[in-house]
Amino acid sequence: MFKLIILQFAKEDVGKAAKWYNEQQQGLGKKYTNQIRKEIQFVTENPVAALTRYDEVKTCVVKNFPFMIHYYVDVKNKKITVAAVFHTSLNPKKWKKRKK
């Protein structure tokens, strides 16, 4: 099993989006965070299933929400690092400045 690390930036991404969704419709933020958890569980169980999109960064599309989970896989050390959870309309250069 791979060890999962979720960077603080990614946690903040999820929190901000959940807050926004709740402002749009009560309970929608919870649905969003539950779907994020499901996708991260999938990534943890299938770390190399997604294609590499940017350098060594893999992405997982979040079902029912226009977001992608951006993560790194260190196969040698069996570690997954979630670096960002970004809306698909955002420029990926914005999050690439984040450190692993």
* Domains detected in the chain: 3-86 (3.30.2310.20)
Q: Which helix (H) or strand (E) holds 70?
A: strand 67-74
B/e letters for 20-42, b = 16+ CB within 10 Å, e = fewer, are ebbeeeeeebeebbeebeebbee
Is the pLDDT reported for residue 97 higher than 60?
yes
Q: What pLDDT, in 10s, does the model give residues 39-58? A: 999 999 999 889 898 888 99
Q: What pLDDT, in 10s, does the model give residues 76-91? A: 999 999 999 999 988 7
